[in-house]
C-alpha cells in the first residue's frame, strides 16, 4: 500500500446500530496513525493518535485499534447517534526529518446516522 | 489566540493574479502544515515546516506554489499566476511536533479563481 486508503467511502446506518470502518496505510517507516472527525463547514478535530502495534483507544462510544505490522486501523462506533454523522479521516504519520512527521490523509469515510 | 487562524477566510481572484494566504499557528507549535482540500475530500498534503525550516514540499503541485515561515511562527502560502484549477479550500494545521502530535486545523481559506 502506497497511500492511505479508507473504506467504505460512505455509510448510512440506523440510529442505535454499531458500525466500523477501515484505514489502510503503508507499514514501512510508520510513526503514528491519526483519526479525525470532520463535520461539514468545520475544521477536522482529532479523535485519536496511536503509535504502537496493538494500541486501542476509546473515547465514549468511539474506539480505534491499530495493527502496524499489516498496516491497518479500525474505527468503531457503538450505538450510533445522529450527532455522529460526519466524515472520519484517517492520517498516517511517516518518518520525517529530525523525527517529525509528514502526515498523509485518506479521503475519509462519510457516515450518516439516520434517526 | 487560542486556535489556528487563517486569513482571509474567503478570497475571490481573477485568473493570472497572485494570492497570499496566511496561517497563524497556535503559539509554541513547532510544526505547521499546509493542505488543499477539494469539496467533500480529505486534506491533500502540500508542504510542512518545523520551526522555520521547510521540511517537505513534495505536495506543492507546481512552481507557482510556494510557502514560507521566516520566523518559525506565521506562514504564508503564495500562489502565483492563479488558474481556475487552483480553486479549493486551503487549510493549515499546527502541532507540537513529534511522532504522536495531533494536528489542530485552522478554519481554512476558500479560494475561488474566476
Q: How far apart are CA B80 and CA B19, in angstroms?
A: 7
3-state secondary structure of A61: coil
Matching residue, cell 514540499: B57
**Cβ-contact A18, A78 below 8 angstroms:** yes
3-state secondary structure of A70: coil
**Which residues in A have their CB inside 8 Å of a CB on B?**
6, 31-32, 34, 36, 38, 43-46, 49-51, 87, 89, 91, 93, 96-108, 110
- pLDDT band for position A2 (cuts 50, 70, 90): low
Whether B42 and A102 lie within 8 Å, measured CB to CB: no
CA atoms within 13 A on the CB side of A82: 2
Residue B8 has pLDDT above 60, yes or no: yes
Q: How far apart are CA B57 and CA B67, in angstroms?
A: 9
**Cβ-contact B37, B43 below 8 angstroms:** yes
pLDDT tens profile B16-65: 999 999 999 999 999 999 999 888 788 888 998 989 999 888 899 999 99
Distance of CA B16 to the CA centre of its chain: 20
Beta-strand pair A5-7/A19-24? antiparallel
Q: How far apart are CA B28 and CA B96, in angstroms?
A: 7
Instruction: Note the pLDDT of residue A27.
Output: 84
Range with lowest mean pLDDT among A29-33, A34-38, A111-115, B16-20: A29-33
- pLDDT band for position A42 (cuts 50, 70, 90): confident
Instruction: Note the pLDDT of residue A101.
Output: 67
Beta-strand pair A62-67/B75-79? unpaired
The fraction of chain A above a pLDDT of 90, given in percent, is 71
Cell numbers that stand for B5 in this block: 487562524
Instruction: Note the pLDDT of residue A1.
Output: 56
* Closest-CA residue of chain A to B96: A100
3-state secondary structure of B48: strand
Instruction: Note the pLDDT of residue A87.
Output: 93
Whether B45 and A105 lie within 8 Å, measured CB to CB: yes
β-bridge partners, B102:
none
Considering only residues 42 to 101 of chain B, which have any Cβ-Cβ distance to chain A shorter than 8 Å?
A: 42-45, 48, 50, 55-56, 91, 97-101
Beta-strand pair B10-13/B109-113? parallel
- pLDDT band for position A100 (cuts 50, 70, 90): low
pLDDT tens profile B93-102: 999 886 578 8
Q: How far apart are CA B4 and CA B25, in angstroms?
A: 5
Cell numbers that stand for B97 in this block: 511536533
Residue B83 has pLDDT above 70, yes or no: yes
For residue B8, is the peptide bond before it cis, meaning its omega torsion is within 30 degrees of 0? yes
Instruction: Note the pLDDT of residue A97.
Output: 55
Amino acid at each position: 500500500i502506497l497511500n492511505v486508503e479508507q473504506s467504505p467511502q460512505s455509510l448510512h446506518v440506523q440510529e442505535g446500530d454499531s458500525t466500523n470502518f477501515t484505514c489502510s496505510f503503508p507499514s514501512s517507516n510508520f510513526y503514528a496513525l491519526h483519526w479525525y472527525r470532520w463535520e461539514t463547514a468545520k475544521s477536522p478535530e482529532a479523535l485519536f493518535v496511536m503509535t504502537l502495534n496493538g494500541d486501542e483507544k476509546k473515547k465514549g462510544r468511539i474506539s480505534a485499534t491499530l495493527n502496524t505490522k499489516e498496516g491497518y486501523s479500525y474505527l468503531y462506533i457503538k450505538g450510533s447517534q445522529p450527532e455522529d454523522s460526519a466524515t472520519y479521516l484517517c492520517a498516517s504519520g511517516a518518518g520525517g526529518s529530525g523525527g517529525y512527521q509528514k502526515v498523509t490523509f485518506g479521503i475519509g469515510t462519510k457516515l450518516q446516522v439516520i434517526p | 489566540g487560542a486556535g489556528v487562524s487563517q486569513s482571509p477566510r474567503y478570497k475571490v481572484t481573477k485568473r493570472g493574479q497572485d494570492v497570499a494566504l496566511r496561517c497563524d499557528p497556535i503559539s509554541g507549535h513547532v510544526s505547521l502544515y499546509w493542505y488543499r482540500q477539494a469539496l467533500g475530500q480529505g486534506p491533500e498534503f502540500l508542504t510542512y515546516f518545523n520551526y522555520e525550516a521547510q521540511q517537505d514540499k513534495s505536495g506543492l503541485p507546481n512552481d507557482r506554489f510556494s510557502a514560507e515561515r521566516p520566523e518559525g511562527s506565521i506562514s504564508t502560502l503564495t500562489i502565483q499566476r492563479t488558474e481556475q484549477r487552483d480553486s479549493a479550500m486551503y487549510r493549515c494545521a499546527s502541532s507540537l511536533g513529534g511522532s504522536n502530535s495531533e494536528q489542530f486545523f485552522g478554519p481554512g481559506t476558500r479560494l475561488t479563481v474566476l
